[in-house]
Amino acid sequence: MNESIAIPEILNKVASAGHEGLPLPENPALTGELELCRSWGYALRFECGRAFLLPDPDSVVPALIEQETPLLAWDKICVRGFLEVGSTNEIALELARAGAAGGTVVCAERQTAGRGRKGRSWSSNPGAGIYCTIVVRPRQEPDHWPLLAHAASVAVAEALREVVGECAVANPPVPDLKWPNDVFLSGKKTAGILIETAVTRGTSPCAVVGIGINVREGSVPAELRDIATCVDRESGSKAPRRRILCSCLHRFQLCYGLFEDGEHGELLERWKGLSSMWNGVPIWVEDGGPRRAVVTCGLTELGALRVRDENGKEDTLLAADVTIRRA
């Protein structure tokens, strides 16, 4: 089990106190917690016996995420913030098994064991990206849950379009969705989604929706530079992480609402509208055996990818790795 370091509650209190500031606590343990937060980059200032958090749309502060995220799918969102965790998905699964409500969100500055699809790892350097996981308790039957990945990737793409559009130089890059659930900027992977499920005794079955977004340069490992990128590099600006995260949580609720209402066609139309590769695009498929050359030809009603080989034989991909085939 990986040790985790929670964001101290005192940071939420200072953030909620706004420009009034919070009287500096006399308890040395609490001042130590504030110093810890400062050492992780939170813009805390101590003046005239009070603690202030300087306004900074980049800072991932649970109380501010809760305040700034419009509510649609849930009565409230409850953000559990960490400076460091093994994996936000792991924490969210633990909380879900213990009965956490849908709309519980786990976010972290750093993951020491961030995980990706198919047992891969997800590099998660401190302050460099958005690492968050949402607990959901769908009414929809589990065989529809693959669509949660489509809901999350639409949310990430729309959030990036919104926030990058606000802060980028001319011609901001347009997010492009690559099946099954990657978000690309300028032809390179920028964000990924990992859905995991938890069976709980006594409560409804649930899933956790993990979202990783490369924001700062430090989020992309050197060995992946050819195939992965980050928001800052592609937008030519410093994109504020909390703005992206709140927009993402807002938009996820919209897509989750479509999912829960059974509006799956509408959800997939939104996904298709953000993807250049779901129809008529030559791709390589890797799903265990030798890689195969096929052409995409649509999505099924559960969001699986339809492909056709050179003999005209059609196939449905549920969970493969695909890459665009270039001439």
Cα dihedral 182/187/190/194 (nearest 10): 10
Q: How far apart are CA 158 and CA 173, in angstroms?
A: 12
Which x/- pattern, by CB under 6 A, does the window 271-310 give for ligand BTN?
----------------------------------------
Q: How far apart are CA 300 and CA 316, in angstroms?
A: 8
Interaction between residue 131 and ligand BTN (CB under 6 A):
yes
Q: How far is the CB of 182 from ligand BTN (least distance, A)?
A: 6
Q: Chain-centre distance of CA 154, in angstroms? A: 11
Cα dihedral 124/256/155/184 (nearest 10): 70
Among 9-17, 22-30, 187-195, 304-312, the segment contacting ligand BTN (CB under 6 A):
187-195
What is the chain's length? 327
Q: Using the rule CB under 6 A, which residue among 135, 183, 193, 322 binds ligand BTN?
A: 193
Q: Which of residues 138-167 bind ligand BTN (CB under 6 A)?
A: none
Indicate the SS3 state at residue 280: strand
Identity of the amino acid at 158: E
Interaction between residue 241 and ligand BTN (CB under 6 A):
no
Q: How far apart are CA 107 and CA 208, in angstroms?
A: 12
Q: How far is the CB of 6 from ligand BTN (least distance, A)?
A: 16
Q: How far is the CB of 172 from ligand BTN (least distance, A)?
A: 23
Residue among 10 and 147 whose Cβ is closer to ligand BTN: 147
In b/e form, how buried is each residue of 234-257, taking b as 16+ CB within 10 angstroms?
bbeeebbbbbbbbbbbbbbbbbbe
Interaction between residue 116 and ligand BTN (CB under 6 A):
yes
Interaction between residue 192 and ligand BTN (CB under 6 A):
yes
Interaction between residue 111 and ligand BTN (CB under 6 A):
yes
Interaction between residue 184 and ligand BTN (CB under 6 A):
no
Please give the backbone phi and psi of residue 264, each rounded to the nearest 5 degrees, phi first: -70, -35
Identity of the amino acid at 138: P
Residue owning tokens 């690559």: 178
Q: Using the rule CB under 6 A, which residue among 4, 12, 59, 89 binds ligand BTN?
A: 89
Q: Using the rule CB under 6 A, which residue among 62, 114, 175, 303 binds ligand BTN?
A: 114
Residue among 122 and 179 whose Cβ is closer to ligand BTN: 122
Residue among 53 and 80 whose Cβ is closer to ligand BTN: 80
Q: Say which DSSP state 69 is in.
A: S
Residue among 40 and 122 whose Cβ is closer to ligand BTN: 122
Interaction between residue 133 and ligand BTN (CB under 6 A):
yes
Q: How far is the CB of 212 from ligand BTN (least distance, A)?
A: 3
For ligand BTN, which residue has the nearest CB? 192
Please give the backbone phi and psi of residue 236, each rounded to the nearest 5 degrees, phi first: 65, 25
Q: Using the rule CB under 6 A, which residue among 38, 50, 117, 306 binds ligand BTN?
A: 117
Q: How far is the CB of 107 from ligand BTN (least distance, A)?
A: 8
Q: How far apart are CA 284 and CA 151, in angstroms?
A: 24
In the chain, the largest separation of any two C-alpha atoms, in whole Å, equals 77
Residues that bind ligand BTN (CB under 6 A): 87-89, 111, 114-117, 120, 122, 131-133, 182, 192-194, 210-212
